[in-house]
Structure 1
Amino acid sequence: MGLRNTLFATLGLGLALGANVAQAVIFDRNGNKLPDAEVNSSKVNWEILSVEKGRNYNGIGLLEQSSYGICTAFFVDTQGSEQAPAYAVTNGHCYDGSTFPSPQEILINQPSNLIFKLNYFQDGIKRVRPVRVQRIVYATMKGTDITVLELDTSFKQLVKEGFTPLKIEQVPAPVGEPVEILGIPLSGMEPSQSFLHRAVCEVGQSVNLREDVYQWEKSIRNRCSLVGGMSGSPVVSLRSNRVVAIANTGVDDDALSQPQCSLNRPCEVSRDGKVTTLAHENYAQRVSDIPSCFDQKGVFNLNLPSCRLEKP
């Protein structure tokens, strides 16, 4: 999502890091684009979730660095054994909260100072469950925008505590698939409203996307309301209840005066190289290769023969 002072940088999707203005695209209940400035308006097509209404989403939470919220992440269903660590997934541009991987970089087994806060509901703030991120087992912005986080607790322990992991779908969702995006909006939001939200839309066309020096293949258009902080939000099929993508970018109103394909103004790239900015679309990235890299015990292993993620 855009730049936060000079300290934190995050893409238009930027959906990362709470800044002072809304980022990406918000819609009303008729599917019409709203100005970013109306992010706190009741017109926005999303709902804030309560502990009761969001009980199946308590494994989706806020990523923090140095007490600053930066992105959304979600607890992944790996069917982990007794000793297997718990894992969460977010965007590659969220991997440490202060810098991005380079365009061709694939990071593995990196230290982390992030905190993942589960159970992040407006009416349940006293029951928020912080978990330290033990390490970044995989992060990249090459071709896609994903990070896999190893948490400082076990899969079994979080399940025992009542947290619901989300299963990732291993095949792409078709155009028109009804989905919900679940994340924590920060940019431009009143602090009292910066808790887990749910927005509903459909999977749009798959396109190649460019933003600044980054290029992402088979990005998924969508018109679910998104703002900064919602980078890494799971896109969940309403048919299968599985994650089919993660939200990562959109065009900021303030970036429309910038060159096409610059930070905060992602553009679609056609086969013949033509670039087009669509200010009324948000985008999500594919995650279908991630499950192939977990072994039978639920441990992430990039060297598995089955693993389809790109290696360094």
Structure 2
Amino acid sequence: MVDFFRDGTPAKGSCPGFPAEQTGPSGPAGNLAGTVRLPNCSASLVRPRTARDEDKALLLTNGHCHPEGRPKPGEVITGQGAPIEGSVLSAAGRELGPVTGRVLYATMTGTDITVAQLDSTYADIRQKYKIEAFPLASTGPVAGQKIKVASSFLESVWSCQAEAVIPTLKEGDYTSTQAIRYAKECNTQPGSSGSAVVDAETRELVAVNSTSNRDGKECELNNPCEIDETGTTVHQGRGYATQTAAIAACIGTGNTIDLKRQECTLPKP
């Protein structure tokens, strides 16, 4: 959830990471198909199980990647809000063309997400770009699950395991719950904010890359700390993701965010 992870240096494509697999228009979870490059972050096309081909597509990135700046602690942004635009990538990381839309929901309270509805439908994107959105999982990853982190901004894919589920992750004035800590192989870099975190076998999107402790500091911006019943812990160099299963429970008519749904647990204004 940090500015360090929004863009920064190195320039896109120059950071270490697993190269995108060039295996077809959508292919396995190990390529960049389905990702969208924003001006300063990574993002992805996501499709809830209830969505229809004729529904306008959803785009997912971090709350701190909101086009008008990060939400304040406790703030929840709803409604047809700020415009957002990005470039759809091929499996190999080539820009296929633009998508535009408006933010439906954004917050950094308990989570770190921005959900936007695009002007294009899933059918439009499939016809124009030969790209399928990532299926949005209704359950989060478990410790030991094999995952891939796909960054459109950096044109890189990291492979590792979800090492642990963290009850509370604190970074400055922001707090996330049930965050995912990566194993060390997912050494995400600046520009990877908002990257899709997908199940390595099914391609389902289970989380969105959020932050990392870069300097070993405790509970500061760019240096999140873990808090549980045993106290506070710092894992220097480890990256974290925000779970996204709660989004699936809040999808309403027309592929929008409906915070009034009984099963919806996303933070509300």
Q: TM-score, normalised by structure 1?
A: 0.75
Residue 268 of structure 2 aligns with which residue?
A: 311
Amino acid at match of 2:132: T
1:118-137, Cα deviation, whole Å (9 max, x unpaired): 12566734xx211112x211
Residue 173 of structure 1 aligns with which residue?
A: 141
The 2-side partners of 1:121 and 1:237 are apart by 17
Residue 120 of structure 2 aligns with which residue?
A: 153
Residue 36 of structure 1 aligns with which residue?
A: none
The 1-side partners of 2:69 and 2:89 are apart by 27
Amino acid at match of 1:130: P
1:55-107, Cα deviation, whole Å (9 max, x unpaired): 3342211112xxxxx111111113534652111111111112x5211111111
Q: 1:61 aligns with which of 36, 51, 62?
A: 36
- CA-based RMSD of the aligned residues comes to 2.5
Residue 105 of structure 1 aligns with which residue?
A: 75
1:205–1:21 Cα change, 3 Å: same
Contact 1:251–1:266 (CA<8 Å) still a contact in 2? Answer: yes
Note the 1:272-291 alignment, pairs <5 A.
274-291=231-248
The 2-side partners of 1:55 and 1:143 are apart by 32
Q: 1:269 aligns with which of 227, 235, 239?
A: 227
SS in 1 for 2:41: strand
The 1-side partners of 2:103 and 2:152 are apart by 21
Percent identical: 25
Say which structure is richer in strand: 2
Matched, 1:46 2:18: yes
Matched, 1:244 2:206: yes
Residue 231 of structure 1 aligns with which residue?
A: 193
User: What's the CA shift for 1:168?
Assistant: 1.7
Q: 2:51 aligns with which of 68, 72, 80?
A: 80
1:116-163, Cα deviation, whole Å (9 max, x unpaired): 2112566734xx211112x21110110111111111212221133322
Q: How many residues align?
A: 259
Residue 9 of structure 2 aligns with which residue?
A: 20
1:130–1:285 Cα change, 3 Å: same
The 1-side partners of 2:256 and 2:93 are apart by 34
Amino acid at match of 1:215: T
Residue 143 of structure 1 aligns with which residue?
A: 110
1:123–1:277 Cα change, 3 Å: closer
1:239-287, Cα deviation, whole Å (9 max, x unpaired): 33211111100022xx44xx52111111111225x32221131101110
The 2-side partners of 1:99 and 1:166 are apart by 25
Contact 1:236–1:245 (CA<8 Å) still a contact in 2? Answer: yes
User: What's the CA shift for 1:293?
Assistant: 1.7
The 1-side partners of 2:202 and 2:152 are apart by 22
User: What's the CA shift for 1:296?
Assistant: 5.7
**Bigger CA radius of gyration:** 1
Contact 2:36–2:44 (CA<8 Å) still a contact in 1? Answer: yes
The 2-side partners of 1:171 and 1:123 are apart by 28
Amino acid at match of 1:270: D
Amino acid at match of 2:60: V
SS in 2 for 1:290: helix
The 2-side partners of 1:114 and 1:248 are apart by 19
Amino acid at match of 2:57: A
Contact 1:172–1:288 (CA<8 Å) still a contact in 2? Answer: yes
Contact 2:90–2:131 (CA<8 Å) still a contact in 1? Answer: no
Matched, 1:130 2:105: no
Q: Which runs of 5+ in 1 are unaligned?
A: 3-9, 23-38, 65-69, 186-193
User: What's the CA shift for 1:184?
Assistant: 2.9
Q: TM-score, normalised by structure 2?
A: 0.86
The 1-side partners of 2:90 and 2:36 are apart by 6
Contact 1:105–1:140 (CA<8 Å) still a contact in 2? Answer: yes
